[in-house]
Amino acid sequence: MVTPFLGYWKITNMEVWAQDYVDLVLPGFVEFDNVDEGHITGAFQFGTVSGGLHAHLRKIGDEPFIEWSWEGRNDNDPGCGRGWARIVGDQLVGRFYIHMGDDSAFTAKLLERPMAAGSGRRQRRARLRRL
C-alpha cells in the first residue's frame, strides 16, 4: 500500500503548546513508517508525550485521512489517546488527543529523519511489538 502519509513529519506548530515545549526532548515529530497487511504503524513525540501509533486510512467524501490510536508516555506516566490528520498542500494537519487530558491541533512538514548525533546514521526508534 502506497500512501502519501508515510514518512517523518516534523511538528511545526501546536495549538496548545509552544514550540519550545514541542521540541523539549527532541524535535517534535509524527512518523508513519510501516505498512503490514493494511496496518500502518509509527511513532510520535512532542515535549514529554511520546508513543507508538497504530493507524488506518479513511476517506471522508473524496478526502483521504489517517486516523490512529497511540500508547506510550505522558510525562512520567503511561499514556494513550488517538489522533487524525490530512494533508493540506505540503503540510500534515490534524489533532492529537490525550485520553482524559488535553488535545491539540497540529501542523507538520515532511522531512528526512534527522541524523543521530555524531553517528552519521539516521536515528532509529523503538519498534512496536505485535502481540
Question: Is the per-residue pLDDT at 64 higher than 80?
Answer: yes
**Per-residue pLDDT for 127 more than 80?**
no
Cα separation, 84 vs 82, in Å, equals 7
Residue 80 has pLDDT above 70, yes or no: yes
Q: What's at 76, amino acid-wise?
A: N
Q: Residue 117: its pLDDT value, please?
A: 60
What is the overall mean pLDDT for the chain?
Answer: 88
**Letter for the amino acid at 119?**
S
pLDDT above 70 for 126: no
pTM of the model: 0.85
